[in-house]
A and B are shown apart, each in its own frame.
Chain A
């Protein structure tokens, strides 16, 4: 569990190059990210484009390439894709349902000491408002490769949200990856923990171990596809457990926790505790793991939230 896998970004880049060698429709469109020009660009210059430091143009050009029949992978950072080039992403790509694959790094707090200009604690919320867009936050390197391969032939736009540095492996064995279908990483009917992205999934699994030591069986769902969220898996968790704890490297508004709440409110009401960053702009200088702790995205808060949910259930059972 603590094995450090390659960085999701590196796996993505290798996978993309591998796919593009066999499929001339696949284009790597760079916004001067560094590291793509001397790998993908050197090997497949005909399928490589660098628009420079210009994210609005990046999205517009990708929309044009996709409309003309190609499969462009747009490369930028999460916050820049959604805020600086958000209108192009919305109006030119998502609204036209064009098969652009936007692959971003620096999601959540993964930019660490770079500071809040490079953090994206709101990316899930913004991306989730875009109809047609499929939003994927792979939990590790293995899942990143699955997601990138699955994205190639997906009919609409796909947004894949990656971190910056290497994170622990979540999936030690091969498994069946399907866009929109959550992966059950641990079984259990006492309480459910639903997480997305590398660090939050790691936090969820550690909380599960902690709870297990106290005799609590927590189900852990890796909700790699945040949009469309796996409604059936959420409803099952709501029905079969004392409640749901969501974990994300994101504000508690509008992201994974918001998506889960929308489902349970409509289909199977239950208690949901959202673990994420409070509404603020974090200006602490630290690495990702420290920032997550500062933001309160910790194993302790998850186990505490799970125990509270179990306590609520015990009280409501006693009252009957």
Chain B
């Protein structure tokens, strides 16, 4: 008996295709940091988050905060995939009258908090997790952080506070793609030793391949590993993942795809899919 094939790679491929479609619209988008986060978002929305797309404000839902709000293209594609709104709506991105801005707005079904200014999401998720703890509700809070974003000092206020509140229902995921706009994080304001830093602040920390669904599943299934401790998964990712011309390239940060580049990107995406299937 052979195991059924994992359905998530196909979902992730569709989501990456949508990210490229969005990047080919008038304004372009933050491609690199969207593509690095795709697999994380796909797994969360497909298997982890207890949510009801038909009832986005369900009080006992798990909460998700995209602290790196510039990865909106990936979030929109995943929310559409999960059924929060029709996939066609993704192509309205940035257009007058659309609900889909460059950074997510609260009016988008499934978006619990609008984000965009870095360094806000972890405090918001901390508050939500704290409310659930204190009111004995089952809700958990997940927050996706950029790695460069951790240079914002407000994160460290939140990182210090969450263990003090005993929030084992709080899960932070760092999209560790090693890039910020002007270069590699370690060449700018270094973040390493990142895992050690989180641990020293009282978090349970695990490093995981952010593009390996099996490893990610295992890491998230074990949460919380310790009672009263918040969890952080440092997901090792590749900026621009899935599209060879963008992979591990700083310049993939923000791209408006011309028709020619769009075709190259799509061809690259298809070749990567063949390699991995």
- Contact present for B161 and A92 (CB under 8 Å): no
Using A59-B123, A88-B120, A96-B114 as known contacts, say yes or no to A65 and B157 having CB atoms under 8 A apart.
no
Q: Which of A62-78 contact B (CB under 8 A)?
A: 62-70, 72
- Contact present for A92 and B135 (CB under 8 Å): no
Cα separation A305 to B5 with both chains bound (whole Å): 82
- Contact present for B120 and A62 (CB under 8 Å): no
Category for how many chain A residues contact B: 20 to 34
Residues of chain A with a CB closer than 8 A to B153's CB: 56
Does A95 interact with chain B (Cβ within 8 Å)? yes
Category for how many chain B residues contact A: 20 to 34
Cα separation A99 to B54 with both chains bound (whole Å): 25
Residues of chain B with a CB closer than 8 A to A67's CB: 112-113, 124, 127-128, 131
Does B160 interact with chain A (Cβ within 8 Å)? yes
Does B165 interact with chain A (Cβ within 8 Å)? yes
Cα separation A52 to B129 with both chains bound (whole Å): 18
- Contact present for B124 and A60 (CB under 8 Å): yes
Cα separation A69 to B135 with both chains bound (whole Å): 10
Tell which of B112, B120, B141 has the most Cβ of chain A within 10 Å: B120
Residues of chain A with a CB closer than 8 A to B161's CB: 51-52, 54, 57, 61
Does B274 interact with chain A (Cβ within 8 Å)? no
- Contact present for B117 and A87 (CB under 8 Å): yes
Does A49 interact with chain B (Cβ within 8 Å)? yes
- Contact present for A91 and B127 (CB under 8 Å): no
Interface of B, helix, strand, loop or mixed by DSSP: helix
Residues of chain B with a CB closer than 8 A to A59's CB: 123
Does A46 interact with chain B (Cβ within 8 Å)? yes
- Contact present for B120 and A92 (CB under 8 Å): yes
- Contact present for B134 and A54 (CB under 8 Å): no
Cα separation A91 to B154 with both chains bound (whole Å): 14
Q: What residue of chain B has the Cβ atom nearest to residue A96's Cβ?
A: B106
- Contact present for B126 and A91 (CB under 8 Å): no
- Contact present for A68 and B160 (CB under 8 Å): no
Does B214 interact with chain A (Cβ within 8 Å)? no
Cα separation A64 to B115 with both chains bound (whole Å): 13
Residues of chain A with a CB closer than 8 A to B122's CB: 60
Tell which of A59, A64, A69, A72 has the most Cβ of chain B within 10 Å: A64
Residues of chain A with a CB closer than 8 A to B123's CB: 56-57, 59-61, 63-64, 88, 92
- Contact present for A52 and B160 (CB under 8 Å): yes
17 more contacts with CB within 8 A, not counting A57-B158, A61-B126, are A52-B160, A52-B164, A56-B153, A56-B157, A57-B154, A60-B123, A61-B124, A64-B131, A66-B127, A68-B63, A68-B131, A69-B59, A92-B113, A92-B123, A95-B114, A96-B106, A96-B113
- By Cβ-Cβ distance, the 10 closest A-B pairs, closest first, are A64-B127, A60-B123, A68-B131, A57-B157, A54-B157, A61-B127, A56-B154, A64-B128, A65-B127, A64-B124
22 contacts between A and B (CB under 8 A): A47-B134, A49-B165, A56-B153, A57-B154, A57-B157, A59-B123, A60-B124, A60-B126, A60-B127, A61-B124, A61-B126, A62-B127, A63-B113, A63-B127, A64-B123, A64-B126, A65-B127, A67-B113, A67-B124, A70-B131, A91-B114, A92-B124
